[in-house]
Amino acid sequence: MHTAFYRFGEMAINSVNSPTSSANSGVKTGLVIDSTSQIPPVLAAKLGVEVVPITVTIDGTEYREGIDLSADAFYEMVSDPLPEISTSQPSPGELLDSFRTCVANGAGQILCVTMDAEHSGTYNSARLAAGMFEDGAPDGTTIRLVDSKTISFGVTASLWQAARALEAGATLEQAAQQAEQLAPKITSTFILASLDQVRKMGRVDFDALDRQAATAAPPSNRARTTSDVSTESDTDGPGPREAAETAVYRTRGGDFDTVGSASSLTDVCHLMAAQIPTDIEVRVGICLAAPDTLPYTEALEAAVARMPNVIETVRYRVGPSIAAHTGPGTAGLFHWPAT
């Protein structure tokens, strides 16, 4: 089966028309998402998505992701040690503005997909904005909120599923339900450049993860950055390998665990790709974080290209709102069922 690869400036998304509308009702649907979704700009434009920027604060200066601060600019600003970085979700007023923009562009109904409500306040901001919107909304305008129960590009996967459903003739509610049903099936497998920023979030039991990692790697191993990982594979010839290994993590349905560890870049990428099921058709999103993580991105794309059940692969950029928490050297992928 042919696998379609899409990249930032090259993406040719022809499977969903813009603007998004339901063939059953003929009503145009406005789509709203925030920038933590890491949605590629070309896909957002194709689907007609309103992307609400996250505020990223670096050493006391506030920036709006994707407007005042690009991914490249962010990576140029951060170094070792990392500056003080924090993020904040959109305000109800910002989301209200996005709803009003959808209506001004002809939408008669709105679907807003947010990051996991347990990890972000965006869903609550959207709920408040929807209440504010109702006071001045045109008669019959409906807003449907979806808590994607996922993060980062997983939010885009949920929205994309809903957009495909709308194009196929689903009602707003049916499309929202499809996005919600997809949530527990969206899986991310990744490595982290540094655990420091993630530990600051306080949402993951790293003591438990360390115990898991110890069962997959020698007790003396430490978590390493992407720059530490050997680029030599097992087939590069004999010779000593570093004892330390890189832990590979996984998130799915709110769970966060360790799937194993490996030493070389090739083996790390093979381990991540091996988490993709082979008995169903899937779509995959592969990330590019800081420029020096490109070898991981390309190795993952090569591994996934050999999987006949992967029907679509999209490369997306890890922007400031996610890299602020993972560090600039993260690498990995998302995968989800194609149907």
Sketch the domain layout of the chain as residue ranges.
Answer: 12-54+89-183, 187-337
Closest CA to 249 of 150, 334, 338, 128: 334
State residue 45's pLDDT score.
92
Q: Which two tokens mark 73?
A: 């600019």
Quick one: average pLDDT of 258-265? 93
Is 239 a residue whose pLDDT tops 50? no
Confidence of residue 119 (pLDDT cuts 50, 70, 90): confident
Q: Which segments of 93-200 are extended strands (E)?
A: 109-114, 142-147, 187-191
Confidence of residue 255 (pLDDT cuts 50, 70, 90): confident
Is 325 a residue whose pLDDT tops 80? yes
CA distance 33 to 51: 5
Is 83 a residue whose pLDDT tops 70? yes
pTM: 0.82
Quick one: average pLDDT of 108-136? 87
Among the ranges given (114-118, 224-228, 317-321), the one the predictor scored with the smallest mean pLDDT? 224-228
- The amino acid present at 23, given as its one-letter code, is A
- Higher-confidence position of 17 and 328: 328
The CATH architecture one would assign to domain 12-54+89-183 is 3-Layer(aba) Sandwich (3.40)
State residue 82's pLDDT score.
74
**To 5 degrees, how large is the angle CA 310–CA 314–CA 320?**
140
Torsion 52-37-327-306 (CA) sign: negative
Q: Which two tokens mark 3?
A: 């696998």
The CATH architecture one would assign to domain 187-337 is 2-Layer Sandwich (3.30)
In the predicted model, what is the mean pLDDT of the chain?
81
